[in-house]
């Protein structure tokens, strides 16, 4: 007789949460199906009505001209892709496609020159830096800021860096594979393991071959840091190709969600996520709802979700920045990748994906333990930059998993997303990144002039 994996492992409240969750998911699916069938004029009518209602019940009801801040925010929000975001600020960009060893096609973005300059026809001896996004994101999150001085890729380009930005398989820019269609479940059958085995090392290998340098500097955000930790631990030779790993809002084994019922439910059976969302892309309806709701309303919804799940208040991010950035926040990833994170949280260990979904890892005395990423073996210099009030970071637990040469920078009052989009990242975050790069990056002499200008400007602002 088949065994039901949830029986006996959930409390009454958790079963109730499961029932409510399924009901809400069914309602959302029904509404989305109806919306997809509606003509565009009707969809636009709902969008306009949401704007009228918002203006009626908020302080912005009075008609007035847009401020400069609002003009910039709207331009960033409505930019369709990475290229338009760069063009708005006057930066040239390139797109490159990498095929991983298992056949996925990944897009790499590049900002090779300072503002207003075109890429050189031949390779230039510049230090190379690689930035990688977090969970449910793409490369746009690095450049969707409302002013240049807070935009890390643009600052680094001005400092003389050759800036590259990666994208995970399955997201907006990498939704194609040689042997698998994105409409099939097989395309979405990937987890952190695949990012570590293929996406990160294959992207780095391509960049080094293209730029003719021996090593690059890696800057990751959230899951982008976990992917680097995993890749460096699995590929010893990769440590020779990465001269420093700067981990912003680092993630290895988060304690869990602040929403206790959801946290308990997912930890009791992470594979219940499959029951909610299937086995393809997770939250794939997000773009639909984003198109329906007036941007400030959509911002309130995202803020509410982040507060419920992670207890993030978002006070350090300006409202105009949220409206601009939240439009670029979501990108596709697999349900399996999210399940992998819940497995890690349940076991409190940075481990590979547990394929034994029948037990869910909850049975005592089973004959095996999922393999852990051997992160203590990383030889690349590591800097952790984290927020003191980030609910996803337990720095003490993290340091137990990482090599002894890991350095730490604690930012008081910072939450998770603040490190990307906070009001003062140009004062608190970017200087830490630049200083670490100055110590470790390859060919630092080419940065000297840019560094002096950066330090002078930063001193004046302080």
pLDDT digits (tens, 9 = 90+) for 374-386: 999 999 999 999 9
* Residue 443, in any domain of the structure: yes
| Known catalytic membership, residue 222 | yes
**What confidence tier does 11 reach under pLDDT thresholds 50, 70, 90?**
low
The 10s digit of each residue's pLDDT in 245-280 is 999 999 998 888 887 777 777 777 777 788 788 899
- Which of 98, 116, 78, 34 has the alpha carbon at shortest distance from 285? 34
pLDDT(451) > 60? no
Q: Is the pLDDT confidence value at 243 over 50?
A: yes
Q: 11 or 319: which carries more pLDDT confidence?
A: 319
Alpha carbon separation from 312 to 339, 415, 417, 434 (Å, rounded): 22, 7, 9, 27
Pairwise pLDDT comparison (46 vs 335), residue with the higher score = 335
- Tell me, what's the pLDDT at 448? 42
| Active-site annotation holder among 390, 418, 428, 440 | 390
Q: Annotated catalytic residue: which of 93, 109, 328, 416? A: 416
The answer as to whether 17 is a domain residue is no
Count CB-CB contacts under 10 A for residue 67.
10
pLDDT category at 453 given cuts 50, 70, 90 is very low
Question: In whole angstroms, what is the distance from residue 283 CA to residue 280 CA?
Answer: 10
| Model confidence band, residue 84 (pLDDT cutoffs 50, 70, 90) | very high
For the segment 195-215, the average pLDDT, to the nearest whole number, is: 96
The pLDDT of residue 59 is above 60: no
Asked if the structure places residue 307 within a domain, the reply is yes
- pLDDT over threshold 70, residue 228: yes
Q: Within a domain: residue 7?
A: no
Q: Does 24 reside within a domain? A: no
- In this prediction, residue 356 carries a pLDDT of 78
| Number of domains the chain contains | 1
Q: Answer yes or no: are the C-beta atoms of 388 and 411 closer than 8 Å.
A: yes
The yes-or-no verdict on residue 86 having pLDDT over 80 is: yes
The pLDDT confidence band at residue 117, using thresholds 50, 70 and 90, is confident
Across all residues in the chain, what is the average pLDDT?
Answer: 85
Residue whose C-alpha is closest to residue 167's, from 76, 95, 112: 95
Question: Cα–Cα distance between 31 and 47 in angstroms, integer?
Answer: 15
Query: Structural domain of residue 398, as residue ranges?
Result: 40-55+67-357+369-450
Contact between residue 108 and residue 165 where contact means Cβ atoms under 8 Å apart: yes
Q: Residue 147 pLDDT > 60, yes or no?
A: yes
Active-site annotation holder among 222, 253, 320, 331: 222
Of 66 and 49, which is predicted with more confidence? 66
Phi and psi torsions of 131, nearest 5°: -110, 140
pLDDT for 92 beyond 70: yes
> Residue 368: how many CB atoms within 10 A of its CB?
8
Q: Does residue 62 lie in a domain region?
A: no
Q: 304: domain CATH number?
A: 3.40.50.1820
The reply to whether 416 belongs to the active site is yes
Asked if pLDDT for residue 211 goes beyond 70, the answer is: yes
The answer to whether position 414 is within a domain reads yes
Decide if 390 is catalytic.
yes
Residues 6+ apart with CB under 8 A from 206: 96, 98, 108
**Confidence bin at 450 (pLDDT 50/70/90):** very low
Question: Do the domain assignments include residue 404?
Answer: yes
Predicted model pTM:
0.85
Paired tokens of 430: 């970017």
User: Which of the two residues, 112 and 118, has the higher pLDDT score?
Assistant: 112
With a CB cutoff of 8 Å and minimum separation 6, the contacts of 280 are 185, 187, 188, 334, 335
State pLDDT tens for residues 338-354: 999 999 998 899 999 99
pLDDT in tens, 32-45: 555 556 576 776 66
Closest CA to 391 of 194, 223, 259, 215: 259
The predicted model gives 418-433 an average pLDDT of 97
Binning pLDDT at 50, 70 and 90, where does residue 100 land?
very high
């Amino acid at each position: 007789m088949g065994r039901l994996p949830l029986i006996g492992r959930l409390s009454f409240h958790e079963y109730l949460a499961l029932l409510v969750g399924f009901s809400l998911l069914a309602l959302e699916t029904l509404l989305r199906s109806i919306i997809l069938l509606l003509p565009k004029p009707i969809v636009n009518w709902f969008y306009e009505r949401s704007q009228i209602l918002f203006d009626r019940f908020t302080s912005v009801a009075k008609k007035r001209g847009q401020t400069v801040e609002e003009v910039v925010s709207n331009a960033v929000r409505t930019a369709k892709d990475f290229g338009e975001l760069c063009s708005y600020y006057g930066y040239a960009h390139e797109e490159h496609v990498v095929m991983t060893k298992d056949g996925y096609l990944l897009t790499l973005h590049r900002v090779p020159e300072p503002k207003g300059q075109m890429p050189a026809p031949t390779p230039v001896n510049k230090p190379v830096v690689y930035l990688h996004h977090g969970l449910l994101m793409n490369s746009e999150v690095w450049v969707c800021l409302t002013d240049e001085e807070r935009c890390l890729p643009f600052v680094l380009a001005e400092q003389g860096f050759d800036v590259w930005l990666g994208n995970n398989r399955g997201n907006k820019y990498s939704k194609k594979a040689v042997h698998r269609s994105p409409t099939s479940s097989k395309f979405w059958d990937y987890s952190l393991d695949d990012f570590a085995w293929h996406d990160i090392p294959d992207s780095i290998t391509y960049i080094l071959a293209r730029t003719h340098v021996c090593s690059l500097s890696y800057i990751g955000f959230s899951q982008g840091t976990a992917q680097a930790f995993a890749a460096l631990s699995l590929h010893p030779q990769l440590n020779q190709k990465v001269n420093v790993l700067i981990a912003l809002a680092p993630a290895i084994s988060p304690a869990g969600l602040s929403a206790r019922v959801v946290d308990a439910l997912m930890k009791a059976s992470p594979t219940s996520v499959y029951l909610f969302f299937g086995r393809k892309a997770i939250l794939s309806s997000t773009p639909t709802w984003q198109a329906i709701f007036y941007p400030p309303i959509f911002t309130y919804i995202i803020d509410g979700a982040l507060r419920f799940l992670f207890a993030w208040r978002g006070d350090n991010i300006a409202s105009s920045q949220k409206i601009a950035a939240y439009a670029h926040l979501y990108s596709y990833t697999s349900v399996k990748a999210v399940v992998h994170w819940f497995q890690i949280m349940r076991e409190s260990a940075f481990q590979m994906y547990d394929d034994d979904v029948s037990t869910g890892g909850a049975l005592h005395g089973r004959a095996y333990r999922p393999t852990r990423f051997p992160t203590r073996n990383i030889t690349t210099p590591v800097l952790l930059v984290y927020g003191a009030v980030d609910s996803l970071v337990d720095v003490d637990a993290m340091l137990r998993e990482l090599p002894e040469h890991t350095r730490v920078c604690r930012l008081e009052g910072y939450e998770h997303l603040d490190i990307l989009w906070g009001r003062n990242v140009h004062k608190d975050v970017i200087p830490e990144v630049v200083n670490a790069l100055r110590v470790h990056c390859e060919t630092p002499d080419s940065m000297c002039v840019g560094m002096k200008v950066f330090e002078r400007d930063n001193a004046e602002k302080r």
